[in-house]
Amino acid sequence: MQPDEIDEILLRTWDDRRLSRGEKKVLTALLGEHREERELLAYFRHRAFEIARRQLPDSRTAEVVDWLEEIFKALAHAEAGEEVPTLAEAHFSPGDRCRRRIVSLLGLTRRTADVCVFTITDDRIAHALLEAHARGVKVRIITDNEKVVDRGSDIEDLARAGLAVRTDCSEHHMHHKFALFDDAFLVTGSYNWTVSAASYNAENIIVSNDRRLIQAFGETFERLWQAFAPAATSAG
C-alpha cells in the first residue's frame, strides 16, 4: 500500500465518524494481509492518529491524542516482545507540533526533567513543567539571565513555584535549546519555548533516545549547572 492509499482508506471510514461492522471486517482483512510488514502497519496507525488530530477543535485536545498514540506504540512493542525502538523524530513550526511534542514528553516524564533553553514564554509549556514538578518530577532549568526579565517570561513564576532555576553569569548568552526527560529522551533544535516560535517562526526540534546523544547533552547540562551555581556567601 502507498501512503495516499492508506489515507484514502482511513478517510472513507471517517466520513460518518464511526467504524461500522462492515468497515471493520474489511479493514481487519486488509491489515491481516500485511501483518508481517510491521513498518507499514506502524505507519497506518500513525496516519490514523494524524487524521484524528486534524479534526480536533484545539491543540489541548490534540495532546490527548498524542498521549494515546504513545501508549499504543508502547503496547505494540510490548506485545511483539521487541526492545525499545530507536527514536528519531523531527517536528517543525510555525504550528503546534513542536510545542505539543514537548508537552507530551513532559506529561510522560516520571523522574527528572533537565531543561536548558534560552527563554520560556509559552504558558502551555510552563504549565506542563509545573504539573511535572507537582507530581514529584525533579525539574531543573538553565536559562539566559537577560531573558528572565523579558516581558512574558515564565522563569520567575517557575522559580517561585519551587522549580530549580539557574541562569548564566556571563556577558554572553546561554543560547542552548535542549531538554532531557528521565535521561531517556532528548529534545533539541532551533525551537525557543515561546509563543512566537509556535505561531510565527520557522523552527524545528529533533526528538531522540540515542544513548550517545543523551550522554553528551547530559554531560553538558551538568557542566553548565555547576558553572552557574550561585556563589557562596561568607558569614559576616
Q: What is the pLDDT of residue 156?
A: 95
Q: Identity (one letter) of the amino acid at 2?
A: Q
44-69 pLDDT, tens digit per residue, is 888 888 888 777 777 677 777 877 88
Beta-carbon contacts of residue 117 (< 8 Å; ≥ 6 apart): 141, 142, 143, 176, 177, 178, 179, 192, 193
Indicate whether 81 pLDDT > 80.
Answer: no
Distance, CA of 33 to chain centre? 34
Q: What is the pLDDT of residue 235?
A: 40
User: What spatial distance separates the first Cα and last Cα of the chain, rounded to whole Å?
Assistant: 76
For domain 86-229, the CATH architecture is: 2-Layer Sandwich (3.30)
Q: So which residues are the catalytic ones?
A: 175, 177, 182
Share of the chain above pLDDT 90, in %: 54
Is 100 in a helix, a strand, or coil? Answer: helix
163-190 pLDDT, tens digit per residue, is 999 999 888 999 999 999 999 999 999 9
Mean pLDDT along residues 198-207:
96
pTM, rounded to two decimals: 0.72
Q: What is the pLDDT of residue 233?
A: 41
